Amino acid sequence: MDNKRFELLPGMDVDTFETWCKKRNLTETDLIFIFKSVKYNPEYVPETLTVKDVAMRMGKSEQHIRVLLQNGMLPFGRADKLHGRNYTYVIFPDKFREYCGATEGRLIL
């Protein structure tokens, strides 16, 4: 499964959902029923974003996004240098939505 968000399970990504299902030993029939009742919401943007999330939504590589953040070229985040050549990255979801032209807090993909 790819990493999508679902309206029926707000804030639950596919990995969490798969773990939830495995713990309950659901049958294939159970899973089919669940998936038929779940609506995929492609406009959902989580409260926190990773470089991977941003790269995927922008159609760029993760390294490209990291370099732009390190050089201060993206207005929705920053790269903080730790030590040596290591960085930590901070993405501000509201600024990212604004940058991508989102409306009413929802990202248009």
Following DSSP, what letter does each residue of 55-66 receive, concatenated?
HHHHT--HHHHH
pTM of the model: 0.54
* Full residue range of the structural domain in which residue 73 is found: 51-99
Q: Among 96, 13, 77, 16, which residue's Cα sits nearest to residue 106?
A: 96
Q: In the prediction, which pLDDT does 25 show?
A: 78
- Whether residue 35 sits in one domain with residue 60: no
pLDDT tens, position by position, 42-53: 555 557 789 998
- Whether residue 38 sits in one domain with residue 8: yes
Rounded-to-integer distance, Cα 89 and Cα 71, Å: 12
**Is the CB of residue 88 less than 8 Å from the CB of residue 69?**
no
- Whether residue 58 sits in one domain with residue 93: yes
- Whether residue 33 sits in one domain with residue 58: no
Joined together, the tokens standing for residue 62 give 């993760």
- Of 19-23, 24-28, 71-75, 99-103, least confident by mean pLDDT is 99-103
Question: Is residue 109, in this structure, part of any structural domain at all?
Answer: no
* Domains contained in the chain, number: 2
pLDDT value at 19 more than 90 = no
- Whether residue 34 sits in one domain with residue 4: yes
Residues in a beta bridge with 6: 40
